[in-house]
Chains A and B, each alone.
Chain A
Amino acid sequence: DARVTQTPRHKVTEMGQEVTMRCQPILGHNTVFWYRQTMMQGLELLAYFRNRAPLDDSGMPKDRFSAEMPDATLATLKIQPSEPRDSAVYFCASGSWGPDTQYFGPGTRLTVL
């Protein structure tokens, strides 16, 4: 049963610290998305990649957020420095261009104190 995995599942950190979230997309999927979910804003797109190349990162605060795909099996989202307003659940999703279906991981719940 192929699924998207994310680590860590929970992260509590203090303001100003660096946070790194990792995602392993489903093998064979060529598109990876990062979303953020909050009560106020709902699900927001932060960035996405196709064939490891960034296609759109307009949803990310560029001064503190960065997203990369070092290889086809790993996507990372970094926040440096973290702020309390970054507290949210961060989801990674993967899919294949064509069928358009996106499969979500279980999320990383981030709390910045």
Chain B
Amino acid sequence: QQQVKQSPQSLIVQKGGIPIINCAYENTAFDYFPWYQQFPGKGPALLIAIRPDVSEKKEGRFTISFNKSAKQFSLHIMDSQPGDSATYFCAAMSSGYALNFGKGTSLLVTP
């Protein structure tokens, strides 16, 4: 059973565009929501993470929006660049336990 649902599966945007990736979860015990970025041949790397006590978090060009009541969270990439082309995974966990990953979104940013 997929505990975190992620969409879209793939996304193509032009340079400077704002790709948005969405995730939804069911387990209200989840209290940590990270996003990971993965380049081909590499392991996932933590990009940004949020806890449910805040509705938004920004780090550079990356923003997480979190809606606790809807049990949804999303990643926005401002001023996207070709170097942002990668696969992005959302995840959720209860503190001290293991990550539950979404299926991933393959992002292509065209020049």
Residue numbers of A with Cβ under 8 A of B are: 4, 33, 42-45, 48, 56, 91, 93, 97-98, 100-107
Contacts and interface: CB of A to CB of B under 8 A. Distances in A.
Interface string B68-93: 00000000000000000000010001
A101 B93 CA distance: 11
Contacts of A91: 43-44
B95 A100 contact: yes
A100 B32 contact: yes
Given A42-B103, A56-B97, 13 more contacts: A33-B98, A42-B101, A42-B102, A43-B44, A45-B99, A100-B95, A101-B49, A103-B46, A104-B43, A104-B44, A106-B41, A106-B42, A107-B42
Interface in B26-78: 32, 34, 36, 41-46, 49
Given A42-B104, A43-B89, A102 B43 contact: no
Interface residues of B, number: 22
A48 B36 CA distance: 19
Interface of B: 32, 34, 36, 41-46, 49, 89, 93, 95-104
Contact of A43 (B41, B49, B101): B101
A81 B60 CA distance: 47
Contacts of B97: 56
The 5 nearest A-B residue pairs measured at CB: A104-B43, A43-B101, A42-B103, A45-B98, A100-B32
A101 B34 contact: yes
A76 B35 CA distance: 27
A105 B38 CA distance: 12
25 contacts: A33-B99, A42-B101, A42-B102, A42-B103, A43-B99, A43-B101, A45-B99, A45-B100, A48-B98, A56-B98, A91-B43, A91-B44, A100-B32, A100-B34, A100-B49, A100-B93, A101-B34, A101-B46, A102-B34, A104-B36, A104-B43, A104-B44, A104-B45, A106-B41, A106-B42
